[in-house]
Amino acid sequence: MEKVKIVIVGAGPAGIATAIEAKANKIEPVVVLEKAEHICNTIVKFYKPGKRVDANYREKDIRSIGICSFETETKEEFLQRIENWIKEWDLDIRLNSEVTEIKKKNESYEIFVKDRPEYLSEFVVIAIGIFGKPNKPSYLIPKELEGKVFFEPPLEIPEGKKILVVGGGNTAAEVTYYLCDKNEVYLSYRRPQFFRINEVNLKNLEEKEKQGKLKLLMATDIEKIEPFNGKIKVYFKGGKEDIYDLIYYCLGGTTPESFLRRIGIEFDEKGKPLIDEYFETNLPKVFLAGDIAFKQGSIMKAFNSAHIIIKRIKEKYLST
């Protein structure tokens, strides 16, 4: 794994500002990981040409306390500003790098990109915004199957169910492994063998299959699913059919809340992630920046959260 000082998850305004603040304070190396093909994905994707980009949303007079600041400008002007900052500060931004897992390892964190451990970082700043969503299959999911078909790993393990897990990555492998002791579990993968999962997950699957705790359905592809007597009827290509109580699709992507909960970040009773005044979570050295840290965010708030986070890292952890 590549060893870095800070991994920043997300190359939106909060992520870019955090990287700039870190470099200004000579905290390096810093890597910014972005799952999309370009920076500031929300603005690129959802803002029409010429649309205004405001520094503040609804709230007034929020002033910059850090390096990054701007006044209201067009989408094109703002994106050019960000590009200029990236060049000026020589930021290390890696596109098409979706973070799928973050795990504690001694005093650092393993950062998984597309289910593979790629980075070992002392600090993590999560700045992923609020618009993430899981990937879904191309065929129709009938509305009648709501509550029986899921697109992210379960937070609580069901019991006594016949379950189909769909996918071939580490998330699919781990979900299958955790479900199989209390359920009848099948894992469907469209390829004849795994090539994305790590050795530990592969070994766990093979051992559980030998014990008869799960069944691997390799080289199987689903054509459609439909309701059937309160359950789910699955039609595989080639003519095979079967009936399940639940289906978990593990095809990549996640909602921000599910991702945060899965890596161990705690939430309050209102569904807001627990952070202190410096945006640090219950996981030491893991911070939230930007919209994901606020009930209602703005770009200036995102910039300011970046400044506060880096100042906290420097004063609390790097001052000696």
- What is the tens place of the pLDDT at every residue in 236-252? 999 999 999 999 999 87
For residue range 211-221, list pLDDT tens digits in order. 999 999 999 99
pLDDT computed for residue 295 by the predictor? 67
CA dihedral 94, 97, 103, 109 (to 10 degrees): -10
- Least confident range from 25-34, 231-240, 267-276: namely 267-276
Question: Which H/E stretch holds residue 140?
Answer: none
Architecture field, domain 2-133+255-317: 3-Layer(bba) Sandwich (3.50)
Say whether domain 143-249 belongs to CATH 3.50.50.60: yes
CA 233 to CA 223: how far, in whole Å?
Answer: 11
Domain boundaries along the sequence of the chain: 2-133+255-317, 143-249
CATH fold match for the domains 2-133+255-317 and 143-249: yes
Return all residues near 41 (Cβ < 8 A) that are at least 6 apart.
11, 12, 34, 35, 129
Q: Sign of the C-alpha dihedral, residues 237, 241, 242, 245?
A: positive
